[in-house]
């Protein structure tokens, strides 16, 4: 590592402090009743059923549809996709084939105060049939309802995937969000024919969820490669919401909600407050212990430990723009605790290696360099093992379209698909915690310690454990 300058400590400290503050409170603006969130904070974390409770809802085919077992399974998979697209990985879903019912249990959304189960079912997303149609014309059916009248161009089954994209205005530097579409083979030809017919007149293709039009983009070009964009007055959130709806696809039939009720938290009321208080007390004891045992190294380790915890909460809340939020469950908290323990262990290993080097009579700078180098191999081996286990858990118990599942598909294809959100939550928090341990406990701690050692007042070897009996 190159020679570390004195200001580095303050720079790293400032980064950790800003990171911690924005993670705790988030960054948002309020304009009347409209809240615009730029950075998600802890308040945006959706807590699992075991911590906060949730909703139990039953869906049945609408009308007189006599669904087959295969159709019920397909509908269940669509509902699972919609749950995952909203960052809900702590849910229970199963099918009652005899009664043609789908039962879904999922946690309350973050910041819930009314605990209204009917509104929570709406938040889950419309269980509707998705269609792309010519034009925006409507008509009225026999029941007096307004329904789309245009010929169907595509259904949800013709869309391979949908995502979000953005273009930046060269003058204002503002981003314009859009929805990107990637059609499968069946949809490419249909979409080519439709855009060819509508391009000259700048016609519209409307997108419908049942009888509700959610978008009506104009056709600006003939699309032959199966890739298209939907433009409009989108924010990132609204573009992602539309992409998620399209990715969820069309259900084999429309579903209606026949019953819903609230679920009490399995850990009991007040469990979250008790866990937060216990966690704060535990962290306080760890910090006191580290400072008492390793002096200045303990102070640096404590700051980096705060940074590591912040990183895990940020990953769960959706602080990082490229990562969606996740549901925090009791096993997820266990993953955080385990990774904190490994972070403390990494700091203890480093502290002991530095003390050994000082007892051998090495100068402070050499002892720090050698101590961190010797400790790294042990820390790397332990964390790498944990990361591998985390990826396997996420691949085995996550959704089939997750990157972990795709990575490990050759292994798990023989065992069938499975989704168990609580175990995925454990693997996710453990993985993020171990990665943050490398960033904070190894890299940031080394930068801060080497920087402090340049100050004359911090060059006493006893501040680093030298001359202390261990």
Average pLDDT over residues 391-415: 68
Question: Which residue has better confidence, 258 or 120?
Answer: 258
Give the per-residue SS3 of the chain.
Answer: CCCCCCCHHHHHHHHHHHHHHHHHHCEEEEECCEEEEEECCHHHCEECHHHHCEEEEEEEECCCCCCCHHHHHHHHHHHHHHHHHCCCCCCEEEEECCCCEEEEEEECCCCCCCCCHHHHHHHHCCCCCEEEEEECCEEECCCCCEEECCCEEEEHHHEEEEEEEEEECCCCCCEEEEEEEEECHHHHHHHHHHHHHHHCCCCEEEEEECCEEEECCECCCCCCCCEEEEEEEECHHHHHHHHHHHHHCCCCCCEEEEEEEEECCCCCCCHHHHHHHHHHHHHHHHHHHHHHHHCHHHHHHHHHHHHHHHHHHHHHHCCCCCCCCCEECHHHHHHHHHHHHHHHHHHHHHHHHHHHHHHCCCCHHHHHHHHHHHHHHHHHHHHHHHHHHHHHHHHHHCCCCCHHHHHCHHHHCCCCCCCCHHHHHHHHHHHHHHHHHHHHHHHHHHHHHHHHCCCHHHCCHHHHCCCCCC
Average pLDDT over residues 237-254: 72
Whether the pLDDT of residue 416 is over 70: the answer is: no
C-alpha 296/C-alpha 357 separation (Å) is 16
pLDDT tens across 326-350, in order?
788 888 888 999 999 999 999 999 9
C-alpha 322/C-alpha 66 separation (Å) is 42
Whether the pLDDT of residue 124 is over 70: the answer is: no
pLDDT tens across 425-436, in order?
888 899 999 999
pLDDT tens across 79-107, in order?
777 777 666 777 788 888 888 888 888 88
Average pLDDT over residues 400-422: 59
Largest CA distance in the chain: 93
Which pLDDT does position 10 carry in this prediction? Answer: 94
Whether the pLDDT of residue 21 is over 90: the answer is: yes
pLDDT tens across 253-309, in order?
777 888 888 887 766 557 777 878 888 898 999 999 999 988 899 999 999 999 999
Whether the pLDDT of residue 402 is over 70: the answer is: no
Average pLDDT over residues 137-145: 84
Question: Which residue has better confidence, 46 or 413?
Answer: 46
At residue 449 the predicted structure's pLDDT band, cuts being 50, 70 and 90, is very high
Whether the pLDDT of residue 441 is over 80: the answer is: yes
pLDDT > 90: what percent of the chain?
A: 24
Which pLDDT does position 46 carry in this prediction? Answer: 81
pLDDT tens across 156-205, in order?
778 888 888 888 777 777 778 888 888 888 889 999 999 998 988 888 99
At residue 22 the predicted structure's pLDDT band, cuts being 50, 70 and 90, is very high
Q: Residue 226 has which token pair?
A: 């199966």
Average pLDDT over residues 380-398: 86
Whether the pLDDT of residue 209 is over 80: the answer is: no
Question: Which residue has better confidence, 228 or 459?
Answer: 459
Whether the pLDDT of residue 396 is over 80: the answer is: no
Whether the pLDDT of residue 424 is over 90: the answer is: no
Least confident range of 29-33, 316-320, 461-465, 466-470: 466-470
Which pLDDT does position 55 carry in this prediction? Answer: 85
Spell out a b/e string for 158-183, using b for 16 or more CB atoms within 10 Å of the CB, else e: bbbebebeeeeeeeeeeeebbbbbeb
């Amino acid at each position: 590592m190159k020679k570390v300058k004195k200001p580095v400590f303050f720079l790293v400290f400032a980064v950790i402090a800003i990171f911690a503050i924005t993670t705790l409170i988030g960054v948002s603006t309020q304009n009347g009743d409209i809240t615009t969130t730029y950075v998600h904070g802890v308040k945006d974390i959706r807590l699992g059923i075991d911590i906060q409770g949730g909703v139990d809802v039953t869906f049945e085919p609408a009308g007189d549809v006599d669904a087959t077992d295969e159709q019920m399974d397909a509908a269940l998979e669509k509902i699972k996709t919609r749950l995952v697209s909203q960052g809900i990985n702590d849910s229970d879903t199963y099918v009652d084939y005899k009664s043609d019912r789908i039962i879904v249990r999922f946690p309350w959304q973050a910041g819930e105060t009314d605990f209204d189960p009917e509104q929570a079912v709406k938040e889950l997303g419309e269980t509707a049939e998705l269609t792309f149609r010519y034009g925006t014309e409507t008509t009225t059916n026999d029941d007096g309802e307004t329904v789309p009248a245009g010929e169907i161009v595509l259904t949800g089954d013709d869309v391979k995937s949908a995502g979000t994209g953005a273009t930046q205005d060269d003058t204002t530097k503002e981003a314009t969000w859009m929805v990107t579409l990637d059609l499968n083979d069946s949809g490419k030809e249909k979409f080519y024919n439709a855009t060819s017919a509508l391009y000259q007149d700048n016609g519209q293709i409307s997108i419908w969820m049942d009888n509700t039009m959610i978008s009506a983009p104009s056709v600006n070009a003939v699309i032959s490669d199966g890739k298209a964009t939907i433009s409009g007055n989108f924010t990132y959130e609204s573009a992602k919401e539309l992409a998620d709806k399209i990715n969820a696809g069309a259900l084999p039939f429309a579903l209606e909600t026949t019953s819903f009720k609230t679920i009490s938290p399995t850990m009991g009321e007040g469990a979250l407050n008790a866990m937060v208080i216990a966690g704060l007390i535990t962290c306080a004891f760890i910090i006191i212990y580290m400072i008492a045992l390793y002096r200045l190294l303990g102070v640096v380790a404590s700051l980096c430990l705060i940074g590591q915890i912040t990183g895990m909460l940020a990953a769960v809340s959706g602080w990082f723009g490229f990562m969606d939020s996740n549901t925090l469950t009791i096993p997820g908290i266990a993953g955080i605790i385990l990774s904190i323990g490994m972070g403390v262990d990494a700091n203890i290993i480093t502290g002991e290696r530095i003390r050994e080097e000082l007892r051998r009579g090495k100068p402070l700078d050499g002892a720090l360099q050698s101590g961190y180098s010797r400790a790294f191999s042990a820390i790397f081996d332990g964390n790498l093992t944990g990361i591998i286990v985390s990826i396997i858990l996420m691949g085995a118990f996550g959704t089939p379209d997750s990157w972990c599942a795709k990575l490990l598909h050759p292994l798990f294809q023989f065992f069938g698909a499975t989704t168990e959100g609580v175990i995925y939550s454990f693997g996710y928090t453990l993985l993020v915690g171990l990665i943050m341990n490398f960033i904070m406990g190894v890299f940031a701690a080394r930068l801060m310690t080497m920087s402090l050692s340049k100050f004359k007042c911090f060059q006493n070897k006893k501040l680093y454990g030298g001359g202390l009996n261990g």
